[in-house]
Amino acid sequence: MSLFDMFKRPDINAGIEEFKKSENAILLDVRTSEEYGEGHIEGSVNIPLQSIQNVKIQIPDLNRKIYVHCLSGARSARAASTLKAMGYLDVTNIGGIDSYTGKVVKG
């Protein structure tokens, strides 16, 4: 890994493609519910970062593959770290929806 790789942002578009190929995976949006309502990726689950401690209610299986995103990638990086500390074994930060080129749904 080079010095520049440390500053490279995750590619949400590649992450979404990987998510679509993963059986039984969860796409977790950790933005606020207001942000989520303004536009989100179809099929995503919204658990805001400030409520991440409640994740076990919606995702009780610690082995389930989770792809995490937010607006820019900062909150999703924190959420991914928190999820790993909570015992989730397969968590990937895919970055921010601000660079997503696919369709979003409102509501």
Tokens of 11: 């590619």
Q: Which of 16, 30, 47, 70 is catalytic?
A: 70
Residue 70 among the catalytic residues: yes
List, as own/partner pairs, every contact residues 49-54 make where C-beta atoms lie below 8 angstroms and the sequence separation is at least 24, other chains included: 49/75, 49/78, 49/79, 52/79, 52/82, 52/83, 53/86
Question: How far apart (Å, rounded) are the C-alpha atoms in residues 99 and 102?
Answer: 9
Nearest to 88 by CA among 70, 64, 68: 64
Catalytic residues: 70
